[in-house]
Chain A
Amino acid sequence: MITLLKYEIYRRWKWLVIRYAALIILGLIFFNRASASPMQYDIIAASMGKFFLISIIAFAIIIVEGINMLKEDLFESSGYLTFTLPKSERSILFAKNFLLFVQLFLWALVSIQFGTMFLKLLPLEEVSRYMAEIDLPVYPAILFVLTAFFNFVLMVQFSLTLTRTLLYRNKYSGIISVGIFFLLAYLIENFYYGPFLNQIKHAYIEIGTSSASNIDLLSGGYTAVFLNIILAIIFFTATAYLLENKINI
């Protein structure tokens, strides 16, 4: 596992360093500009907005890379090298996704750190008022977003693996993977999250910690995070099973 992880990092270490260094350096530049203009909230807000735009771009790159990590080995000749290594397909998949999770975690860490720094430049009472209006449990929301996007990649990986398993070297594989992904997304939203979140809504009313209105996934708190973790385990196991027992490379 460690050797697999070592090569997953080694093959892209330059980009990893550039990505996080750019995020931190640009964050510092924008923060410096914002902190040099105290009480000028339009400048602070503009700097903050620019940083979050950069942060979202970095995030999108991480997600695309997470998908490509497996896609390349499934659809390109490098799969002959990867899948003839004396390692289980499960550990190959785990190494790729472990790196993805670490990347998402680091991204969240940097973004939250800068987010907090920017917020401190805004008037405290204003921030408190907005936070009260949003009424969002911060930590579960962050964990939910992280696990949700991690699941997004796992779902895409599963769709690609399933397509490759069902259709060997088919030129329509890409479009069929997209179809499978949307079907899965629909089923999960309606039959997996739906019933559970209704229960969460009911629980909130009983304990009286939140308004029952406008309830959504983010307000599902740790329960929604737990649902995501279960889903991640299901997709990881299903993809590993296909790789080990069914797929033709």
Chain B
Amino acid sequence: MEYILTTKQLSKYFYQKKALEKVDINIEKGKIYGILGPNGGGKSTLLKLAAGLLKPSGGEITIDNKNPGVYTKSIVSYLPEANYFYKWMKIRDALNFFKDFYDDFDMERARKSIEFMKLEEKEKITSLSKGMLGRLKLALALSRKAKLYLLDEPLNGIDPVSREKIITSILDAFNKKSTIIICSHLIYYIEKLLDYVFFLSEGQIILAGEAEDLRNKRGISIDRLYQEVFQ
């Protein structure tokens, strides 16, 4: 079995506060994973460690058998929850920026996504609404032909109509050569995408399994299971 991301006893502490503690996960190539859990459970920390933004306090994380660094950043497409664009950027600038820095960026796909998301290239990013910004971030992140996509709360602040557009875009971007990890607490919308789920709480994995297996064994949806686990 080929893994794109592996963690061994991965821990992250901020001062005395534990964000992740001794997490062991193996992410297979060609699947869509959901990391589910309440706010503050460690989901974003895990993605930031994979993106190379945070450094582990203990244990190890590898992507395509390499520690986070320049190579892993070239194959990982990270979508943070925050607005990470520079204030001076227009949508057109952001497109060119991605084209210049990422060899795997597909400008044609990006332009189609921008159009599909009903955004205009001449718009200044600071003038976009939260929903438009979420759509733009996703359009850019998914227009890379990355090996690993890390999507941190891609549906937060997005209206229901846009959520459907985003789900469609994620499915369009996915192929058997890529892997997608989605962190979210809006399970209802993403459930149909997921092959495998991890339930993360207080920095530890408390439940994991194939989405279909969990549904069959428990006789309830992942959304319902989430509500039971975190009640």
**Interface residues of A, Cβ cutoff 8 Å to B:** 3, 6-7, 11-12, 77-81, 83-88, 168-169, 245-249
Given contacts A86-B101, A249-B54, contact A81 B73 (CB under 8 A): no
B14 near A77 with CB under 8 A, answer: no
Given contacts A86-B74, A249-B54, contact A80 B84 (CB under 8 A): yes
Q: B51: which A residues are within 8 A, CB to CB? A: 80, 84
Across the interface, name the chain B residue whose C-beta is closest to A244: B69
**Interface residues of B, Cβ cutoff 8 Å to A:** 14-15, 48, 51-55, 70-71, 73-74, 76, 78, 80, 82-88, 97, 100-102
Across the interface, name the chain B residue whose C-beta is closest to A88: B70
* Neighbour of B84 across the interface among A12, A78, A87, A246, CB < 8 A: A78
Given contacts A7-B97, A86-B74, A86-B102, contact A81 B53 (CB under 8 A): no
Bound complex: CA A169 to CA B53 (Å): 14
Q: How far is the CB of A146 from chain B (nearest CB, A)?
A: 28
Given contacts A85-B73, A249-B54, contact A80 B80 (CB under 8 A): yes
Q: How far is the CB of B50 from chain A (nearest CB, A)?
A: 10
The 8 listed contacts between A and B (C-beta, < 8 Å) are A79-B53, A80-B51, A84-B51, A86-B73, A86-B101, A248-B14, A248-B53, A249-B53
B78 near A84 with CB under 8 A, answer: yes
Q: B53: which A residues are within 8 A, CB to CB? A: 79-80, 83-84, 248-249
Given contact pairs A80-B51, A81-B85, a sample of 11 additional A-B residue pairs in the complex whose CB atoms are under 8 Å apart: A3-B100, A7-B100, A78-B84, A78-B87, A81-B86, A84-B53, A86-B73, A86-B74, A87-B73, A248-B55, A249-B54
Q: How far is the CB of A170 from chain B (nearest CB, A)?
A: 9
SS class, residues of chain A in contact with chain B = loop
A83 near B52 with CB under 8 A, answer: yes
B52 near A84 with CB under 8 A, answer: yes
Q: A79: which B residues are within 8 A, CB to CB? A: 53, 84
B55 near A246 with CB under 8 A, answer: yes
Bound complex: CA A11 to CA B85 (Å): 12
A168 near B14 with CB under 8 A, answer: yes
* Neighbour of A78 across the interface among B15, B48, B74, B86, CB < 8 A: B86
Bound complex: CA A83 to CA B54 (Å): 10
Bound complex: CA A7 to CA B98 (Å): 11
Bound complex: CA A6 to CA B97 (Å): 10
Given contacts A7-B97, A86-B101, A87-B70, contact A81 B55 (CB under 8 A): no
Bound complex: CA A81 to CA B78 (Å): 9
Q: Which residue, A78, A169, A246, has most C-beta atoms of chain B within 10 A?
A: A78
Q: B87: which A residues are within 8 A, CB to CB? A: 78
Bound complex: CA A88 to CA B69 (Å): 8
Bound complex: CA A85 to CA B68 (Å): 12
Across the interface, name the chain B residue whose C-beta is closest to A91: B70
Bound complex: CA A78 to CA B80 (Å): 10
Q: A247: which B residues are within 8 A, CB to CB? A: 55
Q: A169: which B residues are within 8 A, CB to CB? A: 14
Q: How far is the CB of A30 from chain B (nearest CB, A)?
A: 32
Q: How far is the CB of A240 from chain B (nearest CB, A)?
A: 13
* Neighbour of B73 across the interface among A3, A7, A84, CB < 8 A: A84
Across the interface, name the chain B residue whose C-beta is closest to A245: B55
Q: How far is the CB of B15 from chain A (nearest CB, A)?
A: 8
Across the interface, name the chain B residue whose C-beta is closest to A249: B53
Q: How far is the CB of A74 from chain B (nearest CB, A)?
A: 12
* Neighbour of B78 across the interface among A80, A88, A168, CB < 8 A: A80
Across the interface, name the chain A residue whose C-beta is closest to B15: A168
Q: A81: which B residues are within 8 A, CB to CB? A: 84-86
Bound complex: CA A15 to CA B100 (Å): 23
Q: B97: which A residues are within 8 A, CB to CB? A: 7
